[in-house]
Amino acid sequence: MSPQHTIPAPKQAPPSAPAMSEPGILVPLGLPGFHILSQTITEEGELEVTIISRADRAACPHCGRLSPKQHDRRLRRKRDVPLGGRPVCLLLVKRRFWCLACRRSFTETDTVCGWRRRTTLRLREVIGTQACSRPLTHVAAELDVGPRLVQTCLETVAHARLTRQGRPLDAQAPLPTPRFLGIDDFARRKGQRYATILCDLEARRVLEVVIGRSQIQVCPLLERLDAPERVEAVSMDMSGSFREAVHLCLPCARIVADHFHVIQHVGKALAQVLGRCARSQEGRAALKGQRHLFLRAAEALEPEEAEQRVQLAERFPDLAAAWKHKEALRRWYESPGLAAASAGLDAWIASVQRDGPVELVQALSAFHAWREEILNFFVFLPTRISNGFVEGKNNRTKALMRQAYGFRNLQHLRLRVLLEVAS
């Protein structure tokens, strides 16, 4: 009999009539080593397919000899991938053989599901693939299986994929060492629980995710790199714990302060100036709904918006000065090299100290503490090392956590991130 079976079209009436009399289409079973003995549709709408192995003999597990003598047969129910919108149950005829050499009985190997498994290999592959991007409970409810099975399938799929990519699944295994690293943290629960993500900026992939963001928790992560001397640069935000961990574990690497976070630091000071002006009697009405005129980049404004910003700047000198310095810093990042950038940064700092509002002057402390790391951005031109890829991964990870209403088990979240589902 051909390894194909007819899938009947759904009926409006109850499926009590003979199913095989309905019109249908031929669909491959996908199990070439098996015969189809029969197929029926139960009253619950489940498709039952009875199958048996094509082989007429089996190898004895005790002595290894082939035996053609069948001892008995037993039916075993196995869950398979739904087909045509119907749940599928395989009724597998499992045969026991009698070994003529060692005079012992044995059961043939189950190549459909595996030893003591009640679901097929392809169904577990489907479950694991869905669990990579969806909450375990959602997949379990949809496919009518237990959460523990979904977790096992997820780990199996993750192990197979990461092995093919040559990446370790073990949370303590050595990590491949790239030239450029990106490191950042994200909140598992805002203000309470954090995790750190380490990325290969050249290959644009995640290397590892660990609990915490302190120096004590980040150092073991960096110590897992198999060749730490190969790291040339590490991109990060202006985090003191990350900087100390890199200095301790990667002494040969240059730290590059991510330019987005540097500009964001000045942007926060500008927002403070904007808030102070907006709280004044004159600014309450004038600046209401107009904050975007100062927070956006100059080139992002329409001509009429730019004119409106100029008019407001004349009425609020501190706000005009803060915006001018923020835009000057953005232009400074277009410097052609390290020497020009170093001189330009000194000039910008002097300008802020001379006529900048107090909020910007206070923000200069970060530029003094992180001067070398900020200038290291120009050491690696034209590569323009940044944490943009890492931030993108963090945003996708946060979206994944919102979809699942949070992950209490970091291992599940870690697998999804490593599988680059959060991409």
Which residues have C-beta within 8 Å of that of residue 158, sequence separation ≥ 6? 128, 132, 169, 415, 418, 419
Query: Could you say which of 3.30.420.10, 3.30.360.10, 3.90.79.10, 3.40.50.720 is the CATH number of the domain covering 180-258+386-418?
Result: 3.30.420.10
Q: Where in the chain is the domain with CATH 3.30.420.10?
A: 180-258+386-418
Please report the pLDDT score of residue 221 as a whole number.
95
Backbone angles phi, psi at 208, to 5 degrees: -165, 155
Q: Are 393 and 366 in contact (CB under 8 A)?
A: no
pLDDT in tens, 39-58: 888 888 888 889 999 898 99
Residue carrying structure tokens 């009253």:
43
Query: If we measure between CA atoms, which residue out of 232, 254, 259 comes closest to residue 243?
Result: 254
pLDDT of residue 18: 39
Q: pTM of the entire structure?
A: 0.76
Regions in the chain scoring below 50 on pLDDT? 1-25, 422-423
pLDDT at site 164: 82
Q: Which pLDDT score is estimated for 83? A: 84
Share above pLDDT 70 across residues of the chain, in percent, rounded to a whole number: 92
Output the pLDDT for position 11.
41
pLDDT at 27: 57
Which tens digit of pLDDT belongs to each residue from 274-315?
Answer: 999 999 989 999 999 998 999 888 899 999 999 999 999 999
Residues 6+ apart with CB under 8 A from 203: 178
pLDDT tens profile 132-159: 878 888 899 988 899 999 989 998 888 8
Please tell me the predicted confidence (pLDDT) of residue 28. Answer: 63
Distances (CA, A) of 293 to 262, 273, 308: 20, 14, 8
The pLDDT of residue 105: 92
SS3 205: strand
